[in-house]
Amino acid sequence: MMLTEKKILVGITGGIAAYKTAEVVRLLCKLQAQIHVAMTKSATEFITPLTLRSLSSNPVYVDLFNEPKLWNVEHIGLAEHVDAVIVAPATANILAKMATGIADDFLSTVLLAVRAPIFVAPAMNHAMYHHPATQVNLALLKQRGVHVIGPGTGFQACGTDGDGRMSEPAEIVESLTRFFAGSAWLKGKKALVTAGGTQEPLDPVRYLGNRSSGRMGYAIAQALQEAGAETILVSAPTDLQTPQGVTRIGVQTALEMYDAVLGLFPEMDVVIKAAAVADYRPSVEAEQKIKKTGTSCTLELVPNPDILAELGRKKTSQVLVGFAAETENLLVNATLKMQKKNVDLLVANDITKPGAGFGSPTNIVSFLFPDGSRMDFPQLNKLEVARHLVREIARLLGMEMETKE
């Protein structure tokens, strides 16, 4: 597979394996990827920026405060423009910085700002690799969706034998090409995802809302986009940033979401209803702020349309995915919802579990299918859940898929 037009940032940190990264850059350039290199100061002790500049045909970044070479604020510009980042070799130090969010040089700052997929190829002495601190850092990074390549086993520069060697350049490049091949699963497909909690106005000041943060839906939009789908995000108000390359349509109420989603439905291949839609809305929206009277009052609510159920009735060839947020009898309630709303995949989550549901950066979900099969996942970062979901959607669409990792 060629990597034409893929912009890849290669981060090099200070380990003896840095000399091998020249070969990673050469191989990626041979596949026609556009390579930008960022080196830490220590990396420059092992291999010169000139070598990398000559191989990549691009300026090499070392300092945070240089005159800009390409974009306005360089580290932010780079972070926004790249399709992937590979840090090779990744020392114990950079892994610790990434895990804790330290940004004290060019590379670590870019790594904090980047939204594209990040790969790391750890390289360090066997004992350092097995130190609990390194293992905890790697586990945390994996949980956040960072792809870890290797390390390999064998003779190490420090004279010992064991694991901790950086994976060979060909293996690193193979992981990246496999990722990009996998990431084309939904190429040519149109996907719509809804996110956030709808708001049902009561008067000009107040509304009825819910606790949905929108994070799950935004992560799904990102994963769909990564997978090559043309992605539309119909979003209730949230504080979240629209993932790069995704078209966002803002809505406030369930009725607005209904109109936006139903209007686009016929041209979609996939619709994922991750939004928490208000089942009821106030029967009237007061034109002026409702004044307190000092006595109790009753709010009359009328039902909103069930958007997902309507899509389930209307669907032709679309893959339809629903969510079930439950506080009790998770599997029974979720199975009933799947059948009632005629969805092809239902994501069930018990929102009372710590690490799951509204507001949490992680989720604990099961995927339910109409044939009675089920996939249970451990606590995962929402982006990882989203990537699993996208994989299953691609399978339901009958897309040819390569095995990933």
- Between 306 and 392, CB nearer to ligand CTP: 306
Rounded to whole angstroms, how far apart are CA atoms 228 and 379? Answer: 26
Which residues contact ligand CTP by CB under 6 A?
A: 254, 273, 275, 277, 279, 304, 306-308, 322-325, 337
- Between 183 and 360, CB nearer to ligand CTP: 360
Q: Are 272 and 234 in contact (CB under 8 A)?
A: no
- Between 164 and 357, CB nearer to ligand CTP: 357
Q: State the minimum distance, in angstroms, from the CB of residue 306 to ligand CTP.
A: 4
- Between 28 and 325, CB nearer to ligand CTP: 325
Q: State the minimum distance, in angstroms, from the CB of residue 214 to ligand CTP.
A: 12
- Between 209 and 245, CB nearer to ligand CTP: 209
Rounded to whole angstroms, how far apart are CA atoms 283 and 390? Answer: 38
**The three-state (H, E, C) secondary structure of the chain, written as one string:** CCCCCCEEEEEECCCCCHHHHHHHHHHHHHCCCEEEEEECCCHHHHCCHHHHHHHHCCCEECCCCCCCCCCCCHHHHHHHHCCEEEEEEECHHHHHHHHHCCCCCHHHHHHHHCCCCEEEEECCCHHHHHCHHHHHHHHHHHHCCCEECCCEEEECCCCCEEEEECCCHHHHHHHHHHHHHHCCCCCCCEEEEEECECCEECCCCCEECCCCCCHHHHHHHHHHHHCCCEEEEEECCCCCCCCCCCEEEECCCHHHHHHHHHHHHHHCCEEEECCECCCEEECCCCCCCCCCCCCCCCCCEEECCCHHHHHHHHCCCCEEEEEEEECCCHHHHHHHHHHHCCCCEEEEEECCCCCCCCCCCEECEEEECCCCCEEECCCEEHHHHHHHHHHHHHHHCCCCCCCCC
Is-catalytic flag, 158? yes
- Between 181 and 208, CB nearer to ligand CTP: 208
**CB-side neighbour CA atoms (13 Å) of 258:** 12
First to last CA, the chain: 17
- Between 95 and 275, CB nearer to ligand CTP: 275
Q: State the minimum distance, in angstroms, from the CB of residue 212 to ligand CTP.
A: 9
Identified catalytic residue from 1, 139, 158, 290? 158
Q: State the minimum distance, in angstroms, from the CB of residue 279 to ligand CTP.
A: 5
Q: State the minimum distance, in angstroms, from the CB of residue 227 to ligand CTP.
A: 20
The residues assigned a catalytic role are 158
